[in-house]
Amino acid sequence: MQNNRAKFKIFLVLTCCFTLYALSFKFVSAYTLLQALPGGVTEVSKLSDYLSWLFKFTLAAAAFLAILQIVIGGLQIIYGGASEIARSNAKKRIRDALWGLLLAFGAVLILETISPGQFTNLNLAITPVTIEAPAPTPAMEGEWVTKLADDSRTRDYLKSKYIFTNKGPCPNSYYDTNCTMLSDLPQNAVDGVIKIKQDSGAAITITGGTEIGIHKEHGPNKPVLDLNFNNDLLFYMHDKVGLPSGQKMELNTRYTSTDGKFTVIRENNASGRGQHFHVVFQ
């Protein structure tokens, strides 16, 4: 236990020293070394300069030690005499040195293959990434900007009547998916959905508007809306189309309101929108 604590303290001290040393490079433009490093390095301006030198020095030291071990192994073979054990140890020393030398220079070869000329340039700086907005399409520059403005006005007006929209507007065209568009919605559709809200008192969310996308019968200047399904709206639609009490409003069947103001289909499709009311205003 005492031994583990001592190791942890040493590790903590070394970590703090290295952190302080690394941070010192951030606050000085250049650091003049008290003693020149091997190779004539007397000044570094950032931590990566020091690490680059350390990388090259370690590689040179590994090569020197490997050659030294090979020389020692050769001498052991020459002067080992008839001792088989001495010759075996010498061969192992030479083999290990060659493997170490091959490993060191193999790493350099791999790094040079990946990034030629950069393996000693350990640049730790993070290059800022500039994200440029895509150039606007011709539609966005002109006509579609007007469409989005119209969508916003209609959306805000209906919101003031407590009628909400499930998704944002289409970003580029009526053929986009995963959006709900309210631009070019005829006035009779706007008035009609407000009338349904006032008469039914139900919570109403528009799930399909003038976008074409995956919706049937929808499109610009078409008085068609998809409305969310709830029991209050179901009871209202059931009575509005004149169904007698106890008769179920069937799925995928078109009904006409008794006043002739709209037709409605109780739909349940597989497009991810679930059950809703498809309303076509007259």
Q: How confident is the model at residue 138 (pLDDT cuts 50, 70, 90)?
A: very low
Whether the predicted pLDDT of 2 surpasses 70: no
Q: How confident is the model at residue 129 (pLDDT cuts 50, 70, 90)?
A: low
Q: Across-strand partners of 44?
A: 31
* Average pLDDT, integer, range 32-48: 56
* Average pLDDT, integer, range 145-174: 92
Task: Name which residue leads in pLDDT, 217 or 34.
Answer: 217
Whether the predicted pLDDT of 39 surpasses 60: no
| Percentage of the chain lying above the pLDDT 70 cut | 67
Query: Tell me, what's the pLDDT at 165?
Result: 93
| Percentage of the chain lying above the pLDDT 90 cut | 37
Q: How confident is the model at residue 53 (pLDDT cuts 50, 70, 90)?
A: low
Q: Quote the CA–CA distance of 255 and 63 in Å, as a whole number.
A: 88
What mean pLDDT is reported for the chain? 77
Query: Tell me, what's the pLDDT at 11?
Result: 57
* Average pLDDT, integer, range 41-55: 59
* Average pLDDT, integer, range 30-42: 56
Q: Which helix H or strand E contains 50, and what residues bound it?
A: helix 47-79
Q: How confident is the model at residue 26 (pLDDT cuts 50, 70, 90)?
A: very low
Q: Which range has the worst mean pLDDT, 81-85, 98-102, 143-147, 173-177?
A: 81-85
Query: Tell me, what's the pLDDT at 116?
Result: 60
Whether the predicted pLDDT of 139 surpasses 80: no
Crossing angle for the helix pair 47-79 and 84-114, nearest 10 degrees? 150
Length in residues, the chain: 282
Task: Name which residue leads in pLDDT, 262 or 22.
Answer: 262
Give the list of residues 6+ apart from residue 121 with CB closer than 8 angstroms, or none. Answer: 48, 52
- DSSP sequence for 236-272: HHHHHTTPPTT----BT-EEE-TTSSEEEEEEE-SSS
Q: Quote the CA–CA distance of 239 and 173 in Å, as a whole number.
A: 37
The candidate with the shortest Cα–Cα distance to 224, out of 259, 173, 276, 269, is 276
Model confidence pLDDT, tens digit, residues 169-211: 999 888 888 899 999 999 999 999 999 999 999 999 999 999 9
